[in-house]
Structure 1
Amino acid sequence: MMNDKIVVTHSGNFHADDVFSVAALKSVFPTFTLIRTRDKEVIAKADVVIDVGGEHDAATDRFDHHQRGGAGERDNGVPYSSFGLIWQKYGLAICDDNQELANAIDAGLVSTIDAIDCGHVKGVAEGISLSQTISMFNPTWQEEGDFDAGFNEAVDFAARILARAIAAASGGLNAKAIVAEAIKNAQDPRVIVLEKYTPWKKTVHALSEQALYMVYPSQSGQWMIQTVPVEPGSFEDRKSLPKPWAGLSDAELQAETGIEDAMFCHNGLFIAGTTSFESTMKMAALALQE
């Protein structure tokens, strides 16, 4: 199409920052023509330049970070690569003007890719990273592969990852509001009831020092009681379920608790379930008495 923007990034070997930059632009521009080159004349005429050209100027859509002095860094010291620069300008629009969501994507995805690309790897988890996964789309030295074809495959993959990252972060932000409301409305601040399972740990730890148990329905229709850990990721609970329940199920658990529809209690005493809300609340009452 004659009105398509011309987007240029470098040719040859590619990395996660240029791949995700192009993937992000797919959410900004309905169509564009992508050219992978290091030709200075082509770069100069482009509408958007990514990870090449030695210039960062968001006003003219120049997003390189290889020039002397780089392209700046975040407050936490993580420098910007091309993906971070693209996200600085277009992330808010990609997230439908939700600044909190755009910030969450930067913190959870963009800044990690930037850090690895810039060699700022302190605190980055070991193992195969998303950046390394993207690099695997490059032809190996044993292959007579097409770098451009590999790049296009990587962009399609990255676009799906970015879309799911945005969906996950959006879900987390929405969950925060739901859990906060449940904490506010709890009849007993030690037992928080969710009408639908919602990710709750971060919000509970941020807003409630009293919460001991969470009660919620499972996807299979059962009702669960789950302990609140002393901190997110910990296997130690603020208050475990009663020790006599450990590992029991069905008739044995029903006899121990006196609850007719009790179904199971995990041997680790962090989760148990019944077939009804009322019975699970009875479990909570018994657990609080221990």
Structure 2
Amino acid sequence: MQFSKVITHDTSFHADDVIAVALLRTAGFQFEVVRSRNQALLAESLADPEVLVLDVGGIYNPLMLNFDHHQDASMMSAAGLIYEQFKDAICPADAQPFFGNFIASIDAIDTNRDNIFAVWNTLPRGFRNTSSIIGGFNREVTNSAIQDEQFQKAVKFSLEIITNEVYKAVKKAKSEAEYAKRTILSNNVAVFDEFSTVWKEKNEHTFAMLPHANGWQIQSIDTTVAKVPENISECDGFVFRHASGFMAVVKEKEVALAFAETL
């Protein structure tokens, strides 16, 4: 697909149109962004297979590069539609299920999927998510010049978020593949030669031993279930123990392993 122009709506912007543009940048496309609801421009752009129209226009037709979702409440947001179309250029295949969770969170907020606003209302008033933080870039919604400038700032910010989320997804995919290679001690403590980002999700071990920048760490799956005992401070090469007891670090692997076997 080739296009040199992206049309999206003007005035207030939301995470889905901002993230959608940032995803296209991440996929390597170079293009001009035009923010408008001018009906003549939209009609012309929707009919042009070399102009990508997103989050406006009332049509979803990937072959014509039309990616609106407002005409069907069951559809993903513009961010989800763009990601599904171009995901192979955005994220490695094995990491896509994990990065897809991030995109799903943008979709959920934009479309109130599963009545997510009711859940949001139960959280502290100061709680912010990716969508609300991106929405915070809006300024004077009646001033198109200011809004266009803020939109570009939001896209630049979102590019960094996407870079971080792709990185995390790749790491998680690697951890998922490596999980089966863990060593399991007789007391069911899991030992990982590389840091695992998935072991707590598996809910198969109360404690795990993993590499740390300062040596080797022992983690608890949840401090309401168990804590790393305070006597780890008596180990040779003890580095530190978090006050909550969720983790502690010692320098040498053999020392950490010996302690792990006592848990």
Same-fold call, TM cutoff 0.5: yes
Q: 1:216 aligns with which of 200, 210, 231?
A: 210
How far did residue 196 of structure 1 move?
Answer: 3.4
Corresponding residue number in structure 2 for 1:246 = 230
Match of 2:19 in 1: 20
Correspondence list, 1:36-75, <5 A:
36-46=35-45, 47-67=51-71, 69-70=72-73, 72-73=74-75
- 87, 94, 100: which one pairs with 2:83? 87
Mark the runs of 5 or more structure 1 residues left unpaired by the alignment: 74-79, 254-258
Q: Which amino acid aligns with 1:172?
A: K
Distance 1:157 1:9 in 2: 18
- Superimposed CA distance per residue, residues 90-129 of structure 1 (whole angstroms, 9 cap, x where no aligned partner): 1233114x0x42232222x222222222233634544222
Aligned CA distance change for structure 1 residues 236 and 42 (closer, same or farther; 3 Å): same
Higher RCO (CA < 8 A, seq sep 6+)? 2
Could you tell me whether the CA contact under 8 Å between 1:179 and 1:204 is conserved in 2?
no
Give structure 2 stretches of 5+ with no counterpart: 46-50
14-23 or 86-95, which moves further after superposition? 86-95
Contact 1:179 1:203 in 2 (8 A): no
Aligned equivalents of 1:179, 1:263: Cα separation in 2 = 26
Structure ID, larger Rg: 1
- Conservation of the 8 A alpha-carbon contact between 1:51 and 1:66: yes
Give the partner amino acid of 1:93.
Answer: A
Distance apart, 1:147 and its partner CA: 1.0
Match of 1:192 in 2: 190
The match for 2:139 is: 139
Tell me the matched-pair count. 250
Give the alignment's Cα RMSD to 1 decimal.
2.9
Shift of 1:26: 0.8
Amino acid at match of 1:246: E
- Cα distance in structure 1, aligned partners of 2:100 and 2:239: 42
Maintained 8 Å contact 1:216/1:224: yes
Quickly say closer, same or farther: Cα 1:173–1:14, change in 2 above 3 A: same
CA distance in 1, matches of 2:82, 2:144: 32
1:102 has 2:96 as partner: yes
Q: What is the deviation of 1:53? A: 0.8
1:103 is aligned with what amino acid?
P
Q: Is the 8 A contact 2:185 2:191 kept in 1?
A: no
Spell out, residue by residue over 1:191-236, the C-alpha distance to the aligned partner (whole angstroms, 9 max, x if none): 322223332433542xx4xx4432233202x33333344xxxx621
Aligned equivalents of 2:201 and 2:232: distance in 1? Answer: 30
Residues 235 and 154 of structure 1, relative CA distance in 2, 3 Å threshold? same
What is residue 77 of structure 1 aligned with on the other side?
Answer: none
Structure 2 counterpart of 1:30: 29
Kept after mapping to 1: 8 A contact 2:141/2:147: no
Partner of 1:114: 107
Q: Distance in 2 between matches of 1:37 and 1:198?
A: 46
Distance 1:13 1:131 in 2: 13
Deviations 1:231-277 (A, max 9, x none): xxx6213xx55xxx53673xxx2xxxxx5445565665554443322
**Does residue 224 of structure 2 align to residue 235 of structure 1?**
yes
